[in-house]
Structure 1
Amino acid sequence: MSQNGLSPRAAILRHSVLVLTSAFMLVPFVWMVSLSIKPPDESFRASFSFLPAHFYGVENYSKALTSVPIVRYMGNGFLVCASILTLQILVCAPIAYALAKLRFAGRDLIGGLVLIGLLLPHQVLSLPLFVLGYKLGILDTYVALVFPYIVSPFGIFLFRQFFKGIPDDVVHAARLDGLSEFSIVWKVMLPMALPAIIAFSIFSVVSHWNDLFWPLIAVHDGNLMPPPLGIMNFKNEEAGNDYGPLAAASALVVAPLLIAFLAAQKLFVEGMIGGAVK
């Protein structure tokens, strides 16, 4: 028996499944990187080879950076994702604290509404959000890309679960020291919930960095396009059937997410486990 209680055969089977699943998930990324360094005549050969016969990466990445304002698209993505994440933490953390540590009428009802919000796909709300954005006159602005996501049911749920695991004695001690409820949230609860913040940040940034549906509805100005919408525009208007630069642009867009996840993966796992078991 292994240290985790599994027999050697079960451990080998489990790891084999994990390796095969991981390999299957990595195939599109490997194909993307391979296309980004190949010349057009090698992109769709009958036999697959990761490395090209003639390295064409410099040309593809140069075209991806110069043919369309991909840097501007990525800058828009950073601005929108950072704004959404900041506002989500500012809004969701106090709500989660109230649901986890305070007693008031309607708390269970609000908790149930949060769970219902987790079940509703965001696309269901796209029409009323579009009408609301039109009435407010914010369509085709950065505000239109941010305001639908300020309140995150997932963020409230994750923070609530993590806050419930913090002993009530910590909260009582903070109150005895004269801290207000809001001060407890920002000075006590959030610093202790750093793994949950990291986990939620990765989910939030990845979700909104990759979002195409709502930006396609909310903005039409090329200067406001986030990365997915910009890449689609790049494919339709500039690249055509030249998939090398398109794959290079996709690799550039994916790279910041991959680097951020690898840098924070330990805290990400801690945050998810902490929110799940408490």
Structure 2
Amino acid sequence: MVDTAVAAPTGSARLPFSAAETLKHVVLILGAVIVLLPFYVMVSYSLKSPAEIMQNQGGPLGSQELFRDDFCVKLGNAPEDCMVRPAIYNYTTAFEKAPLLRYLLNGVIVTVSIFVIQVIVALPCAYALAKLRFWGREAVFGLVLFCLLIPVHAIALPLYIMLAKLGLTNSYAALVIPWTISVFGIFLMRQFFMTVPDDLIDAARMDGMSEYSIIWNVMLPTAIPALLAFGIFSVVAHWNDYFWPRIVVTGSRELFTPPLGLREFKGDADGDNFGPMMATACIIVTPLVVAFLLAQRRFIEGITLTGLK
């Protein structure tokens, strides 16, 4: 007798999607919306007139209809000469009311100086903790981890007193010196150096290279992805820092960093400065966004190689 039963399929049909994957993407999309919402508001307000901002009108990017600049009229100009589009008004006012280019230059000087000195300090320290054998190495690394737990605000007062006694307040030195040693940079680079084969270092030593020569001629070129990742963290943190510059820069506006420049637009009762303030914020954020987009691939590669999740 012939068995006519049809064999059951060996595997169940796979659905085009799963509930877990759908939930994961929904959570990620909601998180992205929450993160991007302030940027949307910032760009939107930078393109709107004061009336549109106060009345929440004009759509996402503003109507861009001509409006009268009352401040221009108060200066004695004819009303017909003070008609301007909101986007042009906000961005030109941002540069006219404050020396914004000077603030951006100060931000570049401070962030680049901090990062360069941090690299000069962090690379030898990380190399020693990762590749050299010496008494107390684990204890030193434990101190590095402990220093990661200390918030900046806890040491702000002692740092300020020290700089004040040395007469360094209201100077570039006050903005740079406290952050030249980055325990996070030491930790990050140490984690990366742990992945470098010891055979590479032994070969360099057999060629007669000193330890410092190995650091700068062998380890540095291999650490470019990790350095770019650390650079993003360092530059973003110090470019956006308002707390410390507000403490040590109390005199000349010539030393204001970009976040301090936003204080030039702190609000009047009618909120007329909201548009220029948001335009200034867009100008300050744009270099960071561009830098991250250009270094995105290297940044992700550096984070992956250092073992951080």
TM-score tier after normalising by the smaller chain length: over 0.9
In structure 2, the residue matched to 1:18 is 28
In structure 1, the residue matched to 2:226 is 196
Identity of paired residues, percent? 47
Offset of residue 45 of structure 1: 2.5
In structure 2, the residue matched to 1:255 is 286
- The alignment status of 1:176 with 2:186, answered yes or no, reads no
The answer to whether the 8 A contact 2:97-2:264 is kept is no
Question: Which of 40-49 and 224-233 deviates more?
Answer: 40-49
Matches within 5 A, 1:199-278: 199-220=229-250, 221-235=252-266, 241-276=272-307
Change over 3 Å in CA distance of 1:184–1:225 after alignment to 2: same
In structure 2, the residue matched to 1:3 is none
Q: Which structure has greater helix proportion?
A: 1
In structure 2, the residue matched to 1:109 is 139
- The alignment status of 1:33 with 2:64, answered yes or no, reads no
The answer to whether the 8 A contact 2:192-2:223 is kept is yes
The answer to whether the 8 A contact 2:52-2:58 is kept is no
Q: Write the deviation string for residues 54-104 of structure 1: whole angstroms up to 9, x where unpaired.
A: 351111100001110111111100000000000000001100000000011
Distance in 2 between residues matched to 1:188 and 1:7, nearest whole Å:
47
Which ranges of structure 1 fall in alignment gaps of 5 or more residues?
Answer: 1-5
Distance in 1 between residues matched to 2:21 and 2:57, nearest whole Å:
35
Distance in 1 between residues matched to 2:281 and 2:151, nearest whole Å:
26
Change over 3 Å in CA distance of 1:211–1:126 after alignment to 2: same
- The alignment status of 1:187 with 2:217, answered yes or no, reads yes
Considering only aligned residues, what root-mean-square deviation do their CA atoms show, in Å?
1.8
Change over 3 Å in CA distance of 1:63–1:277 after alignment to 2: closer
The answer to whether the 8 A contact 2:228-2:299 is kept is yes
Offset of residue 241 of structure 1: 3.9
In structure 2, the residue matched to 1:159 is 189
Distance in 2 between residues matched to 1:88 and 1:99, nearest whole Å:
16
In structure 1, the residue matched to 2:4 is none
TM-score, normalised to structure 1's length?
A: 0.93
Q: Write the deviation string for residues 148-175 of structure 1: whole angstroms up to 9, x where unpaired.
A: 0000010000000000000000110111
Matches within 5 A, 1:130-141: 130-141=160-171
What code does the residue aligned with 1:192 have? T
Which ranges of structure 2 fall in alignment gaps of 5 or more residues?
Answer: 1-15, 66-84
Offset of residue 10 of structure 1: 2.3
In structure 2, the residue matched to 1:68 is 98
Distance in 2 between residues matched to 1:247 and 1:15, nearest whole Å:
31
